[in-house]
């Protein structure tokens, strides 16, 4: 179930954290699925202590919910969560990209994230890398921190959206157009294309999640 990271972090807690996070973000651990400490520890060949610490961290980032009676579970994605997360992204991410372009930031990392990913489950992780590379060069650490703080939940929503309606081919084409504008130095066009890209996906996911609950 879990894919080992290429270069395991120094501590076991970090290793467990990255392993569980990747399993959630690539859809191997489903929204609403219970996260049993003993099962996770056995799967990752560690004790329960690093698993417990990792689950607390994931709860803080919004990927996991903790209940005193039911324990931990992967966060369930609903329309309200998607609406809230994407509302903030639409306010901040295009502006961060606009600043990155104007500052002459490098978008090499964004370009590498566009490489074909044959494993469909990993496309969410590539999508996340692409978007972060767009805003990382905005020269505002707090802005980057806020967007990073949303990235886990945004990736979880992306997995849910693709599960309902696979649309990665269309989004990959939109990514290429955004990147091309950014590399050309067209800050306003890049920001406009990014806003349209995020808005289109958000509208669809909110609508489809609302339909699922009816």
Chain segment 29-63, per-residue pLDDT in tens: 888 899 999 999 999 999 999 999 999 999 988 89
Residue 116 has pLDDT above 80, yes or no: no
Residue 93 makes CB contacts below 8 A (sequence gap 6+) with 131, 134, 135, 147, 194, 198
Can you list the alpha helix ranges (DSSP code H) found in 8-47?
12-25, 37-44
Chain segment 166-191, per-residue pLDDT in tens: 777 788 899 999 999 999 999 999 99
Domain assignments of the chain as residue spans, ordered by start: 12-74, 79-212
Give the CATH fold of the 79-212 domain: 1.20.120
Q: Does domain 12-74 match CATH 1.10.10.10?
A: yes
């Amino acid at each position: 179930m879990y894919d080992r990271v290429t270069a395991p972090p120094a501590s076991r807690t970090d290793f467990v954290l990255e392993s569980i996070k990747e399993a959630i973000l690539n859809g191997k651990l489903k929204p609403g699925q219970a996260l049993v400490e003993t099962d996770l520890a056995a799967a990752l060949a560690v004790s329960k202590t690093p698993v417990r610490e990792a689950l607390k961290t994931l709860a803080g980032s919004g990927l996991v919910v903790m209940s005193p009676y039911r324990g931990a579970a992967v966060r369930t994605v609903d329309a309200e969560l998607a609406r809230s997360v994407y509302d903030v992204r639409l306010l901040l991410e295009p502006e961060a990209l606009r600043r990155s372009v104007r500052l002459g930031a490098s978008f090499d990392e964004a370009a590498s994230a566009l490489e074909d990913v044959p494993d469909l489950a990993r496309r969410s992780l590539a999508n996340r890398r692409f978007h972060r590379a767009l805003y990382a060069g905005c020269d505002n650490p707090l802005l980057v921190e806020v967007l990073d703080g949303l990235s886990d939940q945004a990736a979880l929503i992306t997995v849910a959206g693709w599960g309902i309606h696979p649309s990665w081919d269309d989004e990959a084409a939109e990514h290429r157009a955004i990147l091309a504008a950014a590399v050309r130095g067209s800050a306003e066009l890049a920001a406009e294309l990014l806003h349209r890209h995020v808005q289109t996906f958000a509208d669809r996911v909110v609508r489809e999640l609302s339909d699922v609950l009816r």
